[in-house]
Chain A
Amino acid sequence: MTIAVAILPEQQLAALNATYRKAVARKRLRLLAGFALFVAALIVASIGAEVNLRTFFTYFGNFVSYFDRLLTLENGQRVWTDFGEWFWGWHKWLKLLGETLLISYVGTLGGAVLAFLLNFLAAENTSPAAWLRFTVRRLLEFARTVPGIVFALIFVIAFGLGPMAGVLAIAIHSTGALGKLFSEIVENADMKPVEGIRSTGASWVACMRFAILPQVSAGYASYALLRFEINVREASVMGFVGAGGIGQELIVAIRKFYYSDVSAILVTIIVTVFLIDITTGWVRGRLFGREART
């Protein structure tokens, strides 16, 4: 038994098909135009960035052999054959790594406190005056957009070489980033408690303390911990411009081609970042339950 499938009459079908093709063709054309534009932008960009594939392929061997040399000790052995030789400077490096962690901790906490003080002024629903909100927002935007290492370059000149410049640079950059996130949490907070407290004649500060803060403090802590993770990475390169931490040792090793030292320091940095990621993830999980762990 055959099943008859109902097919529209030839003419009607042709008309429908034509419309369909036209619709699809338009979409395809738009996609194609966008793609062509993108490729054109890429070509312009690659001329601007002096991309030279010839150099790249000539020197690509260098890249491979660079890693090969990174994993070779001075006596020609592979690094993992002699851990004592590979990590010969572990005492010094661990100390610098501790300094890096302290820089990011102090910087993050300082930035978080500043952001905490400013964020109620920047949030739409709690700011006491529009001009104040505008100023604070522009300030935070500035602190967030200028990269931390540029602040570090300037602070090294103002405050002198050393970890202090790094701490302040990280603190300012974190203020900008956290201030924005914090004020977004405040904007999502429930305003009914504020009305309740307001109706008892409380001041603005009391409203913030007793109505908003209990709703948002968990979110604050979560973002601050996340920022700490990011800042550990950032602090590891602060030494490049003389602002303390393990970066100083790393840039010397890279510039002077102490290959096995470079790989040893990189491994310690990666392991530290791993450990910090895992620890803060665990702490956030403990503090705020599973849903905050994203």
Chain B
Amino acid sequence: MTRPQEVDTAQIRARYPDVFDRPASARLATPLMLGAALAIFVFGLVNLDFSPQRFFAGLSQLGWISLMMIPPDPGSSLPVYLKALGETLSIALLGTTLAAVFALPVSLLAARNVVPSKILRFPVRRLLDSIRGIDTLIWALVWINVVGLGPFAGVLAIAVSDFGAFGKLFSEAIEGADQKQVEGIRASGGSALHEIRFGLLPQVLPVIAGQVLYFIESNTRSATIIGIVGAGGIGLQLAEQIRVLEWQKVSFLILMILVAVAAIDFVSGKLRFAIIGRRAVA
């Protein structure tokens, strides 16, 4: 009978030092990082007044609220809600379109292959960054101060905050475009404008169209919330009903939002598919 071969651990250890004797820094890095993350987490819980009894009291309260939400019931205000939903969809569509129209020329200025001068590109990019750093809700508050309460302020808020996002995304798409076609136009004697129109735009427009459609989708979500600060749409109704504790209406409104977002998802998914084909959808 053969016994399993005796394993000489010492020899194996000596042969593979980087597996068995990893330096302390490599061995301790992960636990240390996890420990630090956990420490900050606990510190945060303490600092933000978390306490178990508050948490569980809140949970039971939440349970009651969810019970009161069933069944969802709009009462007599269904027409008002449908109108508000239409308003929300309008805000999303208009805001995104405005943003895309204004962002296209600016994104050309921020693209490395169109504007080689760093001095010109830098301020444009920082401007776009600062616009993106401010949340849509804050823009909504600012526009309410300018054009008054109502959905128009919402349109402008979405347009401005998306302008920042589009500027960055479009300029990245433009930088990713193939330079050969631009060179071809230049070689045949085209001007700078011709280069952009016939060399760059045909390449980037499908990408841009896909992004715009995607943003219309995600803006339906944003448009539902800007109503909370008074910029029109279904968020206004939702915030009001939550404040007066009409839970059945609240759950109905949330359901309406979910259905609307799912419908927009479906339609824009199909459209994106038609415009840019299967590859780019994923």
Contact = CB atoms under 8 A, between A and B. Distances in A.
B192 interface: no
A270 interface: yes
Contacts of A251: 141, 229
Interface string B35-69: 00100110111011110001101110110010000
Interface residues of A, number: 56
A53 to B, nearest CB: 10
B248 to A, nearest CB: 14
A154 B147 contact: no
A59 B144 CA distance: 11
Given A145-B257, A270-B130, A157 B242 contact: yes
Given A142-B258, A145-B257, A157-B242, A49 B133 contact: no
Given A237-B138, A269-B134, A158 B94 contact: no
A46 B94 contact: yes
Contacts of B141: 251, 254
Nearest to B232: A49
B21 interface: no
Query: Which 10 A-B pairs have CB atoms at the shortest separation, nearest pair first?
Result: A159-B58, A48-B90, A45-B90, A106-B44, A49-B90, A273-B133, A270-B133, A158-B61, A163-B48, A49-B151
Given A49-B87, A52-B152, A237-B138, A149 B225 contact: yes
A274 B129 contact: yes
Interface residues of B, number: 63
Contacts of A274: 129, 133
Nearest to A39: B97
Given A45-B90, A55-B148, A66-B145, A158 B133 contact: no
A50 interface: yes
A97 to B, nearest CB: 13
Interface string B91-115: 1011001000000000000000000
B82 to A, nearest CB: 11
A55 B254 contact: no
Nearest to B42: A106
A116 B62 CA distance: 24
B154 interface: yes
Contacts of B229: 240, 251
B94 A51 contact: yes
Interface string A243-280: 01000001100100000000000100110011000000
Contacts of A150: 224-225, 228, 235, 238, 254
A109 B37 contact: yes
A155 interface: yes
| Chain A residues touching B, majority SS | helix
Contacts, number: 162
Interface of A: 41-42, 44-52, 55-56, 59-60, 62-63, 66, 99, 102-103, 105-106, 109, 142, 145-147, 149-150, 153-155, 157-160, 162-164, 167, 233-234, 236-237, 240-241, 244, 250-251, 254, 266, 269-270, 273-274
24 contacts: A44-B90, A45-B90, A45-B91, A45-B93, A48-B89, A49-B90, A49-B155, A59-B147, A102-B43, A102-B44, A103-B44, A147-B221, A150-B225, A150-B238, A153-B238, A153-B239, A157-B242, A158-B62, A159-B54, A167-B48, A236-B138, A254-B142, A266-B134, A266-B138
Residue picked from A46, A48, A49, A102, most chain B C-beta under 10 Å: A49
B128 interface: no
B58 A160 contact: yes
Contacts of B134: 266, 269-270
A164 B137 contact: no
Nearest to B129: A274
Contact of A42 (B37, B94, B130, B148): B94
A145 B137 CA distance: 17
A241 B228 contact: yes
A46 B44 contact: no
Contact of B245 (A142, A157, A167): A157
B261 interface: yes
Contacts of A241: 228, 239
A145 B87 contact: no
Contacts of A153: 228, 238-239, 242
Contacts of B258: 142, 145-146
Contacts of A51: 94, 152, 155
B202 interface: no
Given A66-B142, A106-B45, A159-B61, 11 more contacts: A48-B87, A55-B152, A59-B148, A142-B258, A147-B222, A154-B250, A160-B58, A163-B49, A164-B50, A240-B229, A266-B134
B150 interface: yes
A286 to B, nearest CB: 11
A52 B94 CA distance: 13
Contacts of B225: 147, 149-150
Interface string B145-168: 111101110110000000000000
Nearest to A61: B146
Nearest to A266: B134
